[in-house]
Structure 1
Amino acid sequence: MIEHHLSIDIETRSSVDIKKAGAYKYAQSPDFQVLLFAYEWNNNGVELIDLANGEIIPDYINQALSDNRVVKHAYNAAFEWYCLNKASYSTPIEQWRCTMAHGLYCGYTAGLEATGKAIGLSQDKQKLTVGKALIKYFCTPCKPTRTNGGRTWNQPWHDKEKWELFKEYCKQDVVTEREILKRLSLFPVPDDEWYMWQLDILMNAYGVKVDRKVIEGALCIDTVSTEKLTEEAIKITGLSNPNSPAQLTEWLEKETGNKIDNLQKATVIELLDKDYPENVRRALEIRQQLGKTSIKKYVAMDEACGEGERVRGLTQYYGANRTGRWAGRLVQLQNLPRNYIKTLDYARELIRNKNYSGLKLLYGNVPDTLSQLIRTTFIPSDGNKFVVADFSAIEARVIAWLAGEQWVNEVFATHGRIYEATASQMFHVPIEKITKGNPEYDLRQKGKVATLALGYQGGTNALIAMGALDMGLSEDELPDIVQRWRQANPRIRDLWYAVEQAALTVMQTAQPQGIYGLIFALEGDVVYGQSFLTVQLPSGRKLYYPKPFLKENQFDKMAIHYYTVGQQTKKWEVTSTYGGKMTENIVQAIARDCLAITIKRIHDKGLQTVFHVHDEVIVDAPLGVQVDYLCNIMSEPISWAPGLLLKGAGFESSYYMKD
């Protein structure tokens, strides 16, 4: 039973660059050190222990770190937990709670300073803005100079005034964290979610092994490739720096007689479709190859690789905000390039042996080949294998289950050919005639793009964004596809409008609304003036829309507006929403909850998930574990989702790849 609360903030130092290598490798450095330890025991005021100057943490606080009757709080608690354990203070993750994770759960942003402002803290309760300069001075190595006596670290006694300010900064972080916690505690995180957060931290701390030889080989080959491509470009163009967009643009305009707007990725692809002379085409191809940025992921893996040749800290719990989905960190797993090469084993060996000539001879485009091999750098622990599985068409399954679109549910309960079945419903053609080889009834592409693009109230633009035109469909066909899909899925269409109406009614009446197993409500507190539009999901978890209000949108229609972190600006700002967008949030959140339950079930079976991407889990498993075993776990019924039919599909491998 919890009897006490302990809020903690620490300041540390390490020669490892935390931004590039991550917190785990940072704390593994031999020169890692905890400098300051600020804490508040219950509500007794903030105290500070100056460890760098020889002060010692009191015995009762030391004991509290491992006492299960004391819940430990911190902002981004994974950092405090890992660092303290690395510094030989034993403290189990099960006893910790993260105020940053709590804020993300409630729809706020991740940074302590930004969250303090967004939540409305008074100036004296907010994070001190001098922190960055002080951290740079005391927490990172300094350049040895004659003036500073050749030292590599700034110590407290080198600038006592700054050190006193640094101590105040550390204490103020506890004040800010506590004030945020007070406000958030009125909107609690479910226990299941705290358990999910703990599993995420343990997974990140365990990490995933990487093939160092692949990393070293890829970086070596990329250097050779860049040199050779640059030399060839100079030879073709005569430019001193063919990598310069300004120089290359001027040359291309001169050679083609056409105006070139820019040399962005999409523009280069368009230019390569034109009937240009061979020298122009080759210059554009080189530009395309030199512009391959995915090689940076090898650099990121190299910098983040720590103890045991493992990369740690690859996922951020609730990093995608609101829906609760995870975000990628360091290597950014969410946007790994796909692999199409059939001979992956051979390509990997060429890279491991730094064989540029062999790679060039066999695969031609070296940067693209290196890009495809990024996934394969992740490997299982010695004596293990990767067992990988993902949910099949989970968003299509969830939205049909939620809306009660029975024909779709029946498809997933039987043959599962959702694209063909959708085309059959849309065009009133027997499903057996909708095959890739039947030119008269080859409607599968239309069924596929409609299924992928139109579930959240999207129109022709959504089809184009999903690649409808690239599939060979004409723009004139698209409105008809939208109309036919909506007619074929009336219950999903009704769901969008019901969701929007429920949210609007809550805002207008302040009365909860229950539809489709969801509860819409307006929640707030009179003490701090917080307010949220919330949507309780079937799992019991809630989606939070902070500071909601009604206002006409750009279409002169009354709409819900709320505060969030802008995807482009990364700032706390107002945005609006509508039925289809809220439906997308809800469906993706339910899909995320299905993944969370699966991760828990995998853990309960004694298996180790090393990372997960979207709806896919990667398990570092003993050789005896079969992929069917993992797929069966993914297909198990979920108590809060009766009738939701889930299916897992996967593979086994000695490295990660896209099957």
Structure 2
Amino acid sequence: MKKLMIDLETKSDIDIAKSGVYRYADSPYFDILLFAYSVDDAPVQVVDLACGEQLPEEILNALTDDRIQKHAFNASFERVCLSVWLRRNYPECFISYGLPEDACGNYLSPKAWRCTMVAAAYLGLPLSLAGVGAVLQLQQQKMSEGKALIRYFCVPYDTVNGVPQFHTPADSPEKWNVFRAYNKRDVETEQAIEQKIARFPVQEFVWQEYALDQSINDRGIQLDLQLVQQAIRMDTLTKDKLLHLLKNLTDLDNPNSVQQMKQWLAEHGLELESLGKKEVQEQLKTAPPDLRDVLLLRQQVSKSSVKKYQA
């Protein structure tokens, strides 16, 4: 075996779009549901982990064998997820590329991975699997059913006593069969992409930069968590105080509501198309003192400077 192409379907209670793959995979409710793979461009196999199937030993060993190249579209997702999954389920098999005291020690080596998304971007192609498939006019396109299936199986539909609840394959065997096909198709699409762009190989120095980028992400940065928590607390206290002042000035139920605030301003002679920073800044130059005070307070309330702390 020289090459292993992989696509995962996973579940977690963390919103990956807001928090990123590291927090997503670190959740105690994270798990891998489906593992589709192809060895050396052979036909794609799907391992149904959610239904109790297990990875073949040769595939398990290949994940930590740096002599075997692992390929995936947006490979950082597969690499980080598999790192966490291996540490939890097969700690005896997990091999990191860093020292135990280094955060890199929690992850598989990025040097053994090749990202099809990077290879596509190197040629100016879109950054989504569906987008690349469409541009290249592949016969094996990404299945459009995927988004709905991911919402159904991979995102909690409820929380009971603090525990997120996920749909299982038994809840809808028909949907699960389509989900398996979707997982398989993703690898087939990735195979087709690599075949199409094989004439334009990514230079080795780019892969070295990619590995460095991944190592930087794996290592992360040190944060003073007490400072972060206090910053969030101070932001909450400040916003509560500002909202109280705004309520007193406007008598609005929710002065943080764009619709309510725009209506109130219009009733007081100031019509705005939006409450965006640029337009508000312009209106502050000429607004009457009472409206100017409201706009300034509204600006402060809507600041998002601690959003990253809350992610």
Corresponding residue for residue 543 of structure 1: none
Indicate if the aligned counterparts of 2:41 and 2:191 stay in contact, CA closer than 8 A.
Answer: no
C-alpha change, 1:173 and 1:250, in structure 2 (3 Å) is closer
Unaligned runs of 5+ in 2: 87-92, 95-107
Q: In angstroms, what is the RMSD of aligned CA positions?
A: 2.5
Give the Cα–Cα distance (whole angstroms) in 2 for the partners of residues 185 and 290 of structure 1. 52
Displacement of 1:189: 0.7
Question: 1:295 corresponds to which letter in structure 2?
Answer: V
Q: Which amino acid aligns with 1:6?
A: L
Letter in 1 for 2:302: G
Q: Across the two proteins, how many residue pairs are aligned to each other? A: 290
SS in 1 for 2:305: helix
CA distance in 2, matches of 1:31, 1:151: 8
Please tell me whether residue 117 in structure 1 is matched to residue 134 in structure 2: yes
- Cα gap change, 1:97/1:278 in structure 2, threshold over 3 Å: closer, same or farther? same
The change in CA–CA distance for 1:248 and 1:39 in structure 2 (over 3 A counts) is closer
Match of 1:299 in 2: 310
Query: 1:250 offset after TM fit, Å?
Result: 5.1
**1:266 aligns to what?**
278
Pair 1:237-2:254 in alignment: no
Q: Percent identity?
A: 40
Instruction: Give how far 1:251 is off.
Output: 4.7
The answer on whether the counterparts of 2:6 and 2:71 sit within 8 Å (CA) in structure 1 is: yes
Compared with structure 1, are the counterparts of its residues 111 and 235 closer, same or farther at alpha carbon in structure 2 (3 Å cutoff)? same
The answer to whether the Cα contact below 8 Å between 2:13 and 2:164 also exists between their aligned partners in 1 is: no
Equivalent residue in structure 1 for 2:150, among 114, 118, 135: 135
**2:216 pairs with 1:218:** no
| Aligned AA (1:93) | P
CA positional deviation for 1:261: 4.9
User: How far apart are 1:224 and its partner, in Å?
Assistant: 2.2
Q: Deviations over 1:253-288 (max 9, x none)?
A: 565x565554332222222222x5432321221122
The separation in 1 between residues aligned to 2:170 and 2:261, in whole angstroms, is: 54
CA 6–226 in structure 1, closer or farther in 2 if over 3 Å, else same: same
Answer 1 or 2: higher relative contact order, Cα 8 Å, separation at least 6. Answer: 2
Q: In the alignment, which residue of structure 2 is the partner of 1:44?
A: 42
1:193-224: CA deviation from partner (whole Å, max 9, x where unpaired):
00110111111111112222222222222222
1:56 maps to a residue whose letter is: Q
Q: Give the deviation of 1:157 after TM superposition.
A: 2.6
What is the identity, as a one-letter code, of the residue corresponding to 2:61?
A: Q
Q: Is 1:199 aligned with 2:197? A: no
Q: Which has the higher helix share?
A: 2
Report the Cα distance in structure 2 between the residues aligned to 1:251 and 1:138, rounded to whole angstroms: 43
Match of 2:141 in 1: 126
| 2:174 alignment counterpart | 161
Aligned-pair CA distance for 1:168:
1.0
Q: 1:239 to 1:154 in 2, by over 3 A?
A: closer
Alpha-carbon shift at residue 60 of structure 1 (Å): 2.5
C-alpha deviation, 1:39, in angstroms: 1.1
CA contact (8 A) 2:70 2:112 kept: yes
Q: 2:105 corresponds to which residue?
A: none
Output one character per residue of 1:157-178: Cα deviation in whole Å (capped at 9) or x when no partner: 3322222221111111110010
1:234-383 superposed matches below 5 A:
234-249=247-262, 251-252=264-265, 255=268, 260-274=272-286, 276-300=287-311
What letter matches 2:275 in structure 1?
L
Quick one: which amino acid aligns to residue 179 of structure 1?
A
- Structure 1: gaps (5+ residues): 301-659
Compared CA separation, residues 254 and 166, structure 1 to 2 (3 A) = closer
Q: Which residue of 1 aligns with 2:121?
A: 104
Shift of 1:248: 4.1
Structure 1 window deviating more from structure 2 (170-179 vs 25-34): it is 25-34
Structure 1 distance, partners of 2:173, 2:290, is 64
Deviation at 1:116, TM superposition (A): 0.9
Residues 85 and 293 (structure 1), Cα distance of their counterparts in 2 relative to 1, 3 Å cut:
closer
Give the direction of change, closer, same or farther, for the CA distance of 1:281–1:61 in structure 2 (3 Å limit).
Answer: closer
Of 227, 235, 241, 1:228 maps to 241
Letter of the structure 2 residue corresponding to residue 189 of structure 1: V
Give the drift of 1:139.
Answer: 2.1
Change (3 A) 1:174 1:289: same
Q: 1:167 and 1:144 mapped to 2: Cα distance? A: 26
For 2:82 and 2:238, locate their aligned partners in 1 and report how far apart those are by CA, in whole Å.
44
Q: Which of 74, 89, 110 is the equivalent residue of 1:93?
A: 110
In the aligned structure 2, how far is the partner of 1:31 from the partner of 1:44?
33
Q: 1:154 to 1:102 in 2, by over 3 A?
A: same
CA separation in 2, counterparts of 1:162 and 1:196? 40
> In 2, Cα distance between the equivalents of 1:250 and 1:165?
48
Mapped partners of 2:256, 2:164: distance in 1: 40
SS of residue in 1 equivalent to 2:190: helix
Secondary structure in structure 2 of the residue aligned to 1:31: coil
1:370-410 Cα distance to aligned partner (Å, 9 max, x none): xxxxxxxxxxxxxxxxxxxxxxxxxxxxxxxxxxxxxxxxx
Distance 1:14 1:277, change over 3 A: closer
Residues 422-437 of structure 1 aligned to structure 2 (within 5 Å): none
Structure 1 residues 240, 184: closer, same or farther in 2, change over 3 A?
A: same
In 2, Cα distance between equivalents of 1:264 and 1:27: 35
Work out which of the two has the higher radius of gyration on C-alpha atoms and give 1 or 2.
1
Q: Secondary structure at the match of 2:36?
A: strand
Pair 1:241–1:190, CA change in 2 (3 A): same
Equivalent residue, structure 2, for 1:536: none
Q: How far has the Cα of 1:29 moved from its partner?
A: 2.0
Distance in 2, matches of 1:231 and 1:211, equals: 30
Secondary structure in structure 1 of the residue aligned to 2:142: coil
Cα pair distance change 1:250/1:95, threshold 3 Å: closer
